[in-house]
Amino acid sequence: MIGKLIEGLRATGRRLTRTRRAVLRVLEGNQYPLSASELYERLQKEKVSIDLVTVYRTLTVLKELGFVSQLELHHEGQFRYEIRQGRKHHHHIRCQGCGRIVDLLLCPLKKLTSLIEKETQFVVNEHTLEFGGLCPKCQ
Protein backbone atom coordinates (compact mmCIF):
# COMPACT_ATOMS: atom_id res chain seq x y z
CA MET A 1 0.00 0.00 0.00
CA ILE A 2 2.77 2.39 0.90
CA GLY A 3 4.19 2.07 -2.60
CA LYS A 4 0.94 3.07 -4.20
CA LEU A 5 0.68 5.93 -1.75
CA ILE A 6 4.06 7.38 -2.67
CA GLU A 7 3.08 7.07 -6.29
CA GLY A 8 -0.21 8.86 -5.79
CA LEU A 9 1.36 11.60 -3.72
CA ARG A 10 4.14 12.24 -6.20
CA ALA A 11 1.71 12.38 -9.08
CA THR A 12 -0.06 15.29 -7.40
CA GLY A 13 3.01 17.15 -6.20
CA ARG A 14 2.65 15.99 -2.63
CA ARG A 15 5.08 14.45 -0.20
CA LEU A 16 5.22 11.32 1.88
CA THR A 17 5.33 12.29 5.51
CA ARG A 18 5.45 10.65 8.91
CA THR A 19 1.84 11.74 9.37
CA ARG A 20 0.47 10.27 6.20
CA ARG A 21 2.26 7.01 6.74
CA ALA A 22 0.96 6.75 10.30
CA VAL A 23 -2.66 7.56 9.45
CA LEU A 24 -2.71 5.03 6.64
CA ARG A 25 -1.15 2.39 8.87
CA VAL A 26 -3.73 2.86 11.63
CA LEU A 27 -6.59 2.70 9.14
CA GLU A 28 -5.16 -0.46 7.64
CA GLY A 29 -5.01 -2.06 11.06
CA ASN A 30 -8.71 -1.53 11.71
CA GLN A 31 -11.57 -3.52 10.31
CA TYR A 32 -14.18 -0.84 10.96
CA PRO A 33 -14.23 2.80 9.90
CA LEU A 34 -12.69 5.33 12.28
CA SER A 35 -13.60 8.93 12.96
CA ALA A 36 -10.95 11.64 12.95
CA SER A 37 -10.90 11.82 16.73
CA GLU A 38 -10.73 8.05 17.13
CA LEU A 39 -7.81 8.02 14.76
CA TYR A 40 -6.22 10.81 16.77
CA GLU A 41 -6.59 8.79 19.98
CA ARG A 42 -5.09 5.70 18.42
CA LEU A 43 -2.11 7.69 17.28
CA GLN A 44 -1.62 9.16 20.73
CA LYS A 45 -1.68 5.70 22.29
CA GLU A 46 1.04 4.67 19.89
CA LYS A 47 3.08 7.72 20.90
CA VAL A 48 2.78 9.21 17.44
CA SER A 49 2.31 12.91 18.03
CA ILE A 50 0.07 14.41 15.35
CA ASP A 51 -2.32 17.29 15.78
CA LEU A 52 -6.00 16.60 15.23
CA VAL A 53 -6.06 19.28 12.54
CA THR A 54 -3.35 17.41 10.69
CA VAL A 55 -5.35 14.22 10.98
CA TYR A 56 -8.22 15.98 9.25
CA ARG A 57 -5.97 17.33 6.55
CA THR A 58 -4.37 13.95 6.02
CA LEU A 59 -7.72 12.24 5.70
CA THR A 60 -8.74 14.79 3.11
CA VAL A 61 -5.66 14.03 1.06
CA LEU A 62 -6.08 10.27 1.35
CA LYS A 63 -9.66 10.67 0.28
CA GLU A 64 -8.70 12.77 -2.73
CA LEU A 65 -6.20 10.14 -3.78
CA GLY A 66 -8.81 7.42 -3.46
CA PHE A 67 -7.13 5.57 -0.61
CA VAL A 68 -9.94 6.06 1.86
CA SER A 69 -13.67 6.56 1.68
CA GLN A 70 -15.43 9.05 3.85
CA LEU A 71 -18.60 7.63 5.41
CA GLU A 72 -21.53 9.56 6.80
CA LEU A 73 -23.38 7.05 8.91
CA HIS A 74 -26.68 7.97 10.43
CA HIS A 75 -27.06 9.09 14.03
CA GLU A 76 -23.34 9.69 14.29
CA GLY A 77 -22.85 13.37 13.61
CA GLN A 78 -19.32 12.87 12.37
CA PHE A 79 -17.45 11.40 9.45
CA ARG A 80 -15.76 8.04 9.46
CA TYR A 81 -12.99 6.84 7.24
CA GLU A 82 -12.03 3.42 5.98
CA ILE A 83 -9.53 2.02 3.52
CA ARG A 84 -10.95 1.98 0.04
CA GLN A 85 -7.94 1.03 -2.02
CA GLY A 86 -8.38 -2.54 -3.19
CA ARG A 87 -11.70 -3.07 -1.47
CA LYS A 88 -15.02 -3.75 -3.12
CA HIS A 89 -18.01 -1.46 -3.04
CA HIS A 90 -20.05 -2.37 0.01
CA HIS A 91 -22.46 -1.09 2.63
CA HIS A 92 -22.76 -1.10 6.41
CA ILE A 93 -24.95 -2.01 9.30
CA ARG A 94 -24.60 -0.20 12.60
CA CYS A 95 -25.80 -1.28 16.03
CA GLN A 96 -28.14 1.22 17.63
CA GLY A 97 -27.00 -0.04 21.00
CA CYS A 98 -23.21 -0.15 21.03
CA GLY A 99 -22.43 1.54 17.72
CA ARG A 100 -20.63 -1.46 16.29
CA ILE A 101 -20.29 -1.23 12.52
CA VAL A 102 -20.18 -4.28 10.31
CA ASP A 103 -19.55 -4.53 6.60
CA LEU A 104 -22.25 -5.85 4.32
CA LEU A 105 -20.46 -7.27 1.35
CA LEU A 106 -23.34 -6.88 -1.03
CA CYS A 107 -25.12 -4.30 -3.10
CA PRO A 108 -28.59 -4.86 -4.45
CA LEU A 109 -28.87 -1.59 -6.30
CA LYS A 110 -27.59 -2.02 -9.81
CA LYS A 111 -30.91 -2.85 -11.39
CA LEU A 112 -32.74 -0.32 -9.32
CA THR A 113 -30.40 2.41 -10.47
CA SER A 114 -31.45 2.05 -14.10
CA LEU A 115 -35.07 2.07 -13.08
CA ILE A 116 -34.59 5.26 -11.10
CA GLU A 117 -32.75 6.93 -13.95
CA LYS A 118 -35.66 6.24 -16.24
CA GLU A 119 -38.23 7.40 -13.74
CA THR A 120 -36.56 10.56 -12.55
CA GLN A 121 -34.46 11.57 -15.55
CA PHE A 122 -31.53 12.00 -13.18
CA VAL A 123 -28.11 10.57 -13.98
CA VAL A 124 -27.30 8.55 -10.89
CA ASN A 125 -23.69 8.78 -9.75
CA GLU A 126 -23.78 7.43 -6.25
CA HIS A 127 -25.92 5.85 -3.64
CA THR A 128 -25.75 5.19 0.02
CA LEU A 129 -27.44 2.34 1.79
CA GLU A 130 -27.22 1.70 5.46
CA PHE A 131 -28.98 -0.47 7.97
CA GLY A 132 -29.51 0.13 11.65
CA GLY A 133 -30.43 -2.41 14.26
CA LEU A 134 -29.20 -4.30 17.26
CA CYS A 135 -26.21 -6.57 17.23
CA PRO A 136 -26.35 -9.95 18.99
CA LYS A 137 -24.88 -8.55 22.21
CA CYS A 138 -27.26 -5.62 22.38
CA GLN A 139 -30.51 -7.43 21.64
User: Which residues would be at the binding site for Zn ion (CB under 5 A)?
Assistant: 107, 109
- Considering only 25, 103, 116, 130, the residue that binds Mn ion (CB under 5 A) is 103
Binding residues for a second copy restricted to 93-132, rule: CB under 8 A: 93, 95-96, 102, 104, 106, 108-109, 112-113, 116-117, 119-132
User: Mask: binding to Mn ion, 64-83, rule CB under 5 A, as x and -?
Assistant: ------------------x-
Phi and psi torsions of 110, nearest 5°: -65, -50
Residue 97 makes CB contacts below 8 A (sequence gap 6+) with 134, 135, 137, 138
Q: How far is CA 99 from CA 13, 58, 89, 106, 129, in A?
A: 38, 25, 21, 21, 17
| Contact residues: DNA, CB under 7 A | 9-10, 13-20, 35-37, 49-54, 56-58, 60-61, 77-79
